[in-house]
Structure 1
Amino acid sequence: MRIDFTQLAALDAYRWLASTVTPRPIAWVSSRSAAGVSNLAPFSFFQVISDEPPTLLVNVNHHPDGSLKDTLRNAQETGELVIQLVSFEHAEAMNASSAILEHGVSEFEHCGIASVASERVAVPRVSGAAVTFECKVSQIQPFPQHNPNCNLIFAQVLLAHIDDAVLNEKGRVDPHKLDIVGRLGGMSYTRTRDTFEMIRPT
């Protein structure tokens, strides 16, 4: 099969990309508005892009009508985010938090997701998350430059919380204990427990 992306409608391009560039980690992003309303939403166009400074990148699409999602609004207003990785035990809660709610409605409250206070930012974090990154917003870049349909949020990591239960005897993360959920195409997800190792050539 040969697919000419220059001839595809946006939705078709998304479907092909989302079903082939897999598995994708999920950024479960909590944020807080200037008015103090907390928000929680998952994004699978997400990756680590730098270790100096330690920086994560989250792509936040606009709503179909062109309006901005609460995550982006909050990041613009406060300059802070908390990014959780999604363990299998939190998969259902993560999925529930993806519902489109009215502006100003907290997913934490609507979905009954427990939160705890962060240390470096005013944004709450998901209680019990295995891995959490408290971040400050370094940059928000509309994309594409002309007629943008999304925004790229560059989030610098200030502090991480890693559950001791997912560490091995050497104090390193054990992927089998971590059990992170990854996004595939359509409604499909995967888990990080099926792993193998290879030694890089010198």
Structure 2
Amino acid sequence: MTGTDDAIAIDVDDRERSLYRVLSSLIVPRPIGWVSSHSPDGVDNLAPYSFVTVASVEPPVVLFAPVNGPDGLKDTPRNVRATGEFVLNLVTEELAEAMNETSATLPPGESEFDHADLERADSSVVDVPRVAGATAALECTRRELIDVGGSTLVLGDVRYVHLDESVTTDGRVDVGEVDAIGRLAGSQYTRTDDRFSLERPP
């Protein structure tokens, strides 16, 4: 890393440490994918990921990209690979503390739902519970897992959408009512209640 009076330059080829902190501090804010999954042994898993986005709208496909752990795949991508299903739950401010609790490192066989005292809700087309208090949830089936360096991209086809009336107006999603929180870096998060509009030019 080199610098002048007002700039820092990073040559990735010469850098020994990971760029995780740099990237996670600059690509902000990021939505939080609160992913529930089900292990082959019957344990309900729930974990937050902030490398998440829409990959396609036709067909509807979402993706999240867990950074691998010291022993390889984390529980969530391992479960998705084994069972082919997951649910992407929306994180709003009232669920922020519970979401944070589910990021704890738990021993195998212990469910984050129980650890965070979260109520499960049945899904409609997948055999994975969703977070009962979430105002929106996307039931997904596995499309593909792609290894990218030290991460695994998990792509899922959206098969069923749950929307609470509180996030809709006249039967349509109202982004003004989707009070999601976003991830910044480290322990910092942001709200989506400070908004402005720009008209797209023709």
TM-score, normalized by length of structure 1? 0.92
Per-residue CA deviations over 1:111-140 (Å, capped at 9, x if unaligned) read 111111100000000002011000000001
Shift of 1:10: 4.0
2:72 is equivalent to residue 67 of structure 1: yes
CA distance change for structure 1 residues 10 and 196 in 2, over 3 Å: closer, same or farther?
Answer: same
Give the counterpart letter for 1:153 in structure 2: V
Q: Is the 8 A contact 1:31 1:39 kept in 2?
A: yes
Look at both structures and tell me which one has the larger radius of gyration over its CA atoms: 2
State which of 20, 25, 28 in structure 2 corresponds to 1:19: 25
Question: What SS class does the counterpart of residue 165 from structure 1 fall into?
Answer: helix
For residue 138 of structure 2, the aligned residue among 129, 133, 140 is 133
In structure 2, how many angstroms separate the alpha carbons of the residues matched to 1:10 and 1:131?
37
Partner of 2:107: 102
| 1:132-156 alpha-carbon deviations (Å, 9 max, x no partner) | 0000000011112xxxx22110011
For 1:8, the equivalent position in structure 2 comes to 15
Distance 1:30 1:8 in 2: 35
Q: Structure 1: which 5+ runs fail to align?
A: none
Which of 82, 85, 96 pairs up with 2:87? 82
Q: Distance in 1 between matches of 2:73 and 2:126?
A: 22
CA distance in 2, matches of 1:100, 1:114: 20
Q: Is the 8 A contact 2:101 2:115 kept in 1?
A: no
Aligned length: 195
1:36 aligns with 2:42: yes
After TM superposition, where is structure 1 displaced by more than 4 Å over at least 4 residues in a row? none
Q: Spell out, residue by residue over 1:7-37, the C-alpha distance to the aligned partner (whole angstroms, 9 max, x if none).
A: 23343x1001000100000000000011211
Q: CA RMSD in A?
A: 1.3
| Structure 1 letter corresponding to 2:16 | A
Distance 1:172-1:7 versus aligned 2 partners, 3 A rule: farther
CA contact (8 A) 1:31 1:80 kept: yes
Provide the C-alpha distance between the structure 1 equivalents of 2:21 and 2:189, rounded to a whole number of angstroms: 15
The answer on whether the counterparts of 1:135 and 1:158 sit within 8 Å (CA) in structure 2 is yes
